[in-house]
Structure 1
Amino acid sequence: MKCSSLLLLALVLTTPALAHAQAADWKLAKDEDGVRVYLSEVPGSRYKSFRGVTLVKADVATLGHLQENLRVSCAWLYACAQMRLLKYSDEAIWVYLDTKLPWPAAPRDLVLKVSTEETPDGGMIRHLQAAPDYVPPVKDRIRVPSVSGTWQMVPKGPRLTEVTYEMRGEPGGSVPSWLANQFVVDAPFESLRMLKVVAEHQGVRDGGY
């Protein structure tokens, strides 16, 4: 069963708004621990979009599994409190995500439709799209109304994969500007950093390195 849940989590929190910006529009915001985070202004939105890029010493299959296991993916996805599968089909999966955001942001939840595309080079792209009306509103939660993004995994050698995580969205309600600016950097950075740790530990445990 393909449950690419982890991706959803990250976007869920991402108060950012990632536009289909050209490469020239991305500005480097953080470069640390092998993870680079870029931000881009989104016309008509108060929130920036983000792009996170890193190299992981693991193959695409390992990374895909870590995304499809909802319990594991919630553990490494930034600000994920809970994820559960709502529906699975050959076309896509629908996942409910509950977030834990830093104070003073109000708790938010998100329903995501996640579809998977396999690329000719042996890579994978996860397409994420909010489906806010898929389930009724939840008490004491602000439903994220709009979010879209991708996780892209490109093989770069034996057990080496370039992972790119891009997101754009509107968080709903109000979010302090300082928190929004912090989140668009922390969400991709921490998600990719922790994914590297988990994936590379998995490789060592399996005797791959």
Structure 2
Amino acid sequence: MRKTGAHRFTGWAPAISAAICALLVTALAAANARAELPAEDAEGWSLHKEEENIRVYTIDQDQSSFKAFKAVALLDVPIGNLMAVMVNPRSCVEWVYNCTESYAFGKGSFHDRYAYSVNDMPWPVTDRDYVLRIRTYGDETSGEIIMDLNATPNQRAENDNRVRVDRSDTLYRFIPEGDQTRMIWVQHTDPNGALPGWLVNSLLVDIPVRSLQALEKVAATEPYQGFRLVYDADGHLIDVRLSDG
């Protein structure tokens, strides 16, 4: 029997009203136009590192001393495998570089939920923690899936031993290409507090490169096999479920 935290999300497929479906279509079309993040095709992206199937770009952000990054990778796993990982609230520790704790909290749905995570920082830098709102949209016709992750720091009490990140915006775009998946990851985070420049610069590259390498391996493991994407009658993604049989 397969065992994975992804199973706890099976059943997150409530009936969606026509009005909400319309909003999902709008969100899918507009997700890349969020003011917090630069557009994927914005001028100014500079290639920072290329390693096998992963390319990482950086760009300056207005009113921030920290750059945003864009990582583009062709992962050798089907999109269903990847989404089984992504909807597992505890999978952060399996693939996100330096993530040491992660779990879902509060009432949520497949499309809109909350998660808490912790990033380990090298001594003497204090660990950072995140409270994220995660929204997921998918379109059956194009096959694309978009996930928006935005910091919502006031949703949980702060921990005295960690620094709460209050500005972080992330976009994941998954594009199926046969048995492979192209993933585009755009992120800008202001980690709060004083951080050495060498650490900031290394994280901009190390986080996406090491994370995507781990994600490709994790999504190919047995616990994440056999999942399928479930769409409603209008072609909107409503769940990721383990296939019958």
TM-score (norm 1): 0.84
Amino acid at match of 1:36: R
- Is the 2:81–2:224 contact (alpha carbons within 8 Å) kept by the matching residues of 1? no
Match for residue 146 of structure 1? 167
Please name the residue that 1:9 is paired with: none
> Which among 190, 193, 203 is matched to residue 173 of structure 1?
193
**Cα distance in 1 between the residues matched to 2:89 and 2:52:** 25
Q: Who is 1:64 aligned against?
A: 83
Contact 2:81-2:225 within 8 A present in 1 as well: no
Conserved 8 A contact 1:55-1:160? yes
Identity of aligned pairs, percent? Answer: 28
> Which amino acid counterpart does residue 200 of structure 1 have in structure 2?
A
Report how many aligned residue pairs link the two structures.
191
Q: Does 1:135 align with 2:159?
A: no
CA contact (8 A) 2:84 2:224 kept: no
RMSD of Structure 2 on Structure 1 (CA): 2.2
Deviating above 6 A after TM superposition, structure 1's stretches of 4 or more consecutive aligned residues are 203-206
Secondary structure at 1:188's aligned position in 2? helix
Counterpart of 1:117 (choices 114, 122, 137) is 137
Once the two structures are TM-superposed, the CA of residue 23 in structure 1 deviates from its matched residue by 3.1
Tell me which residue corresponds to 1:10.
none
How many Å separate the matches in 2 of 1:203 and 1:110?
26
Q: Which runs of 5+ in 2 are unaligned?
A: 1-8, 13-35, 227-245
Instruction: Check conservation: 2:129, 2:164, Cα contact below 8 A.
Output: yes
Counterpart check, 1:40 vs 2:59: yes
Q: Does 1:73 align with 2:92?
A: yes
Code of the aligned partner of 2:157? P
1:74-129 deviation per Cα after TM superposition (whole angstroms, max 9, x unaligned): 21111101001112423411001111122332111110000001033112111011
The correspondence for 2:127, drawn from 107, 132, 141, is 107
Q: Give the C-alpha shift of residue 130 in structure 1.
A: 0.4
Q: Deviations over 1:130-180 (max 9, x none)?
A: 0000011112111001111111100112x1110111101211111111100
Of structures 1 and 2, the larger Rg is shown by: 2
CA distance in 1, matches of 2:61, 2:90: 32
Residues 1:151 and 1:204: Cα distance change in structure 2 (over 3 Å) = closer
2:183 to 159, 163, 166: 163
Match of 1:95 among 115, 118, 125: 115
**Distance in 1 of aligned mates of 2:220 and 2:212:** 12
Unaligned runs of 5+ in 1: 4-17
Q: Which amino acid aligns with 2:202?
A: Q
Report the CA distance between 1:201 and its aligned residue: 4.4
Is 1:56–1:199's contact at 8 Å kept on the other side of the alignment? no
Q: Which of 217, 221, 227 does residue 197 from structure 1 map onto?
A: 217
Distance 2:172 2:107 in 1: 19
